[in-house]
Chain A
Amino acid sequence: MKSARSFHIPPIVYRMISVALIAIALAASTDAFIRSENILNVLRQASLTFLIASGLTLVVLTAGLDLSVGAVVGLSACLTGAAVKATGSIPLGIAVGLACGVVIGIANGLMVTSLKLPPFIATYGMLWIVYGINYWYMAGDTIYGFSDEFKSIGNGYALGVPIPVYLMIAFLILGTLFTRNTTYGHEIYAIGANAEAARLSGIPVRARLVLVYTLSGAMAGLAGVVYLARLGSAEAGIGDPLLLPVIAAVLIGGTSLFGGSGSLCGTLIGALILTLVLNGMNLLTVNAHWHPLVYGGVVLIAAGLDAAARKWSDG
Chain B
Amino acid sequence: MPESAVAQGWSPRRIPGVAYALVGLGMFFSIFARGFLSAPNLVNVGAQSAILLIVALPMTLIIMAEGLDLSAGAVLGLSGVTLSLALVQGAPLPVAFLLALAVGSTFGAINGLLVAVADIPPFVATLGTMGVAEGLAVALTDGRSVVGIGSTLPALYAGKFIGAPFAVWAAVLTYAVFHVLLYRTRFGAYVFALGGNREALVLAGLGANRYHILVYVLGGLLSGFGALLLTGRMSAGHPTAAIGMEFDAIAAVIVGGTRFERGNGWLPGTALGVITVGILKNGLNVMAVSSSLQVASIGVLVIAALLVDSIRERR
Using a CB–CB cutoff of 8 Å, the interface residues on chain A facing chain B are 65, 67, 111, 115-118, 120-122, 124-136, 139, 236, 243-244, 247, 251, 257-258, 287, 289-297, 299-300, 303-304, 306-308, 310-311
Provide the bound-state CA to CA distance between A293 and B307, in Å: 36
Shortest 5 CB-CB contacts between residues of A and residues of B: A296-B131, A293-B135, A132-B296, A135-B292, A129-B299
Contact of B135 among A67, A257, A292, A310 (CB under 8 A): A292
**Is B136 among interface residues, defined by CB-CB distance under 8 A?**
yes
Which residue from chain A places its CB closest to the CB of B66 in the assembled complex? A118
- Tell me which residues across on chain A come within 8 A of B127, comparing CB atoms: 67, 243-244, 247, 296, 299
**Is B119 among interface residues, defined by CB-CB distance under 8 A?**
yes
Residues B143 and A289 in contact, CB atoms below 8 Å apart: yes
- Tell me which residues across on chain B come within 8 A of A139, comparing CB atoms: 290
Provide the bound-state CA to CA distance between A236 and B143, in Å: 19
Residues B293 and A299 in contact, CB atoms below 8 Å apart: no
Residues B139 and A293 in contact, CB atoms below 8 Å apart: yes
Shortest A294–chain B CB gap in Å is: 7
Shortest B128–chain A CB gap in Å is: 4
Residues B294 and A296 in contact, CB atoms below 8 Å apart: no
- Tell me which residues across on chain A come within 8 A of B124, comparing CB atoms: 65, 247, 251, 257, 299, 303
Shortest B131–chain A CB gap in Å is: 2
Provide the bound-state CA to CA distance between A300 and B71, in Å: 13
Provide the bound-state CA to CA distance between A131 and B247, in Å: 12
Which residue from chain B places its CB closest to the CB of A297 in the assembled complex? B132
Residues A116 and B128 in contact, CB atoms below 8 Å apart: no
Q: Which secondary structure characterizes the binding site on chain B?
A: helix
- Tell me which residues across on chain B come within 8 A of A303, comparing CB atoms: 114, 120-121, 124-125, 128
Residues B300 and A129 in contact, CB atoms below 8 Å apart: yes
Given contacts A115-B307, A116-B1, A120-B123, contact A128 B139 (CB under 8 A): no
Residues A136 and B132 in contact, CB atoms below 8 Å apart: no
Provide the bound-state CA to CA distance between A295 and B128, in Å: 7
- Tell me which residues across on chain B come within 8 A of A116, comparing CB atoms: 1, 310
Residues A135 and B129 in contact, CB atoms below 8 Å apart: no
- Tell me which residues across on chain B come within 8 A of A125, comparing CB atoms: 251, 299, 302-303
Beyond known contacts A67-B123, A120-B123, A247-B127: 13 more, CB 8 A cutoff: A65-B124, A67-B127, A121-B260, A121-B306, A126-B299, A136-B293, A243-B127, A257-B120, A293-B134, A293-B139, A299-B124, A303-B125, A307-B120
Residues B139 and A296 in contact, CB atoms below 8 Å apart: no
Shortest B312–chain A CB gap in Å is: 12
Which residue from chain A places its CB closest to the CB of B135 in the assembled complex? A293
Shortest B213–chain A CB gap in Å is: 16
Provide the bound-state CA to CA distance between A128 and B125, in Å: 20
Contact of A128 among B1, B247, B260, B291 (CB under 8 A): B247
Residues B131 and A292 in contact, CB atoms below 8 Å apart: yes
Using a CB–CB cutoff of 8 Å, the interface residues on chain B facing chain A are 1, 68, 70, 114, 118-121, 123-125, 127-136, 138-139, 142-143, 244, 247, 250-251, 254, 260, 290-300, 302-303, 306-307, 310
Residues A296 and B130 in contact, CB atoms below 8 Å apart: yes
Most buried by B among A111, A129, A135, A300: A300
Which residue from chain B places its CB closest to the CB of A300 in the assembled complex? B128
A-B contact pairs, 28 of them (CB 8 A): A65-B124, A116-B1, A120-B121, A122-B303, A125-B251, A125-B303, A129-B295, A129-B296, A130-B296, A133-B293, A135-B291, A136-B290, A136-B293, A257-B121, A287-B139, A290-B135, A292-B135, A292-B138, A295-B131, A296-B131, A296-B134, A297-B132, A299-B127, A300-B128, A303-B120, A304-B118, A307-B119, A311-B119
Provide the bound-state CA to CA distance between A25 and B280, in Å: 53
Most buried by B among A117, A133, A247, A289: A289
Contact of A300 among B132, B250, B302, B306 (CB under 8 A): B132
Residues A118 and B142 in contact, CB atoms below 8 Å apart: no
Residues A131 and B295 in contact, CB atoms below 8 Å apart: yes
Residues B128 and A296 in contact, CB atoms below 8 Å apart: yes
Residues B135 and A296 in contact, CB atoms below 8 Å apart: yes
Shortest A112–chain B CB gap in Å is: 11
Provide the bound-state CA to CA distance between A136 and B289, in Å: 9
Provide the bound-state CA to CA distance between A8 and B85, in Å: 51
Residues B300 and A300 in contact, CB atoms below 8 Å apart: no
- Tell me which residues across on chain B come within 8 A of A292, comparing CB atoms: 131-132, 134-135, 138
Given contacts A115-B307, A120-B123, A129-B300, contact A289 B135 (CB under 8 A): yes
- Tell me which residues across on chain A come within 8 A of B306, comparing CB atoms: 115, 117, 121
Which residue from chain A places its CB closest to the CB of B307 in the assembled complex? A115
Residues B303 and A291 in contact, CB atoms below 8 Å apart: no
Provide the bound-state CA to CA distance between A296 and B110, in Å: 13
Residues B293 and A132 in contact, CB atoms below 8 Å apart: yes
- Tell me which residues across on chain A come within 8 A of B134, comparing CB atoms: 292-293, 296
- Tell me which residues across on chain B come within 8 A of A133, comparing CB atoms: 292-293, 296
Residues A120 and B68 in contact, CB atoms below 8 Å apart: yes
- Tell me which residues across on chain A come within 8 A of B1, comparing CB atoms: 116
Provide the bound-state CA to CA distance between A265 and B300, in Å: 36
Contact of A304 among B120, B130, B247, B260 (CB under 8 A): B120
Shortest A103–chain B CB gap in Å is: 15
- Tell me which residues across on chain A come within 8 A of B139, comparing CB atoms: 287, 289-290, 293
Provide the bound-state CA to CA distance between A88 and B120, in Å: 47
- Tell me which residues across on chain A come within 8 A of B128, comparing CB atoms: 244, 296-297, 299-300, 303
Residues B118 and A132 in contact, CB atoms below 8 Å apart: no
Which residue from chain A places its CB closest to the CB of B131 in the assembled complex? A296
Provide the bound-state CA to CA distance between A124 and B130, in Å: 14
- Tell me which residues across on chain A come within 8 A of B302, comparing CB atoms: 121, 125
Provide the bound-state CA to CA distance between A60 and B134, in Å: 25
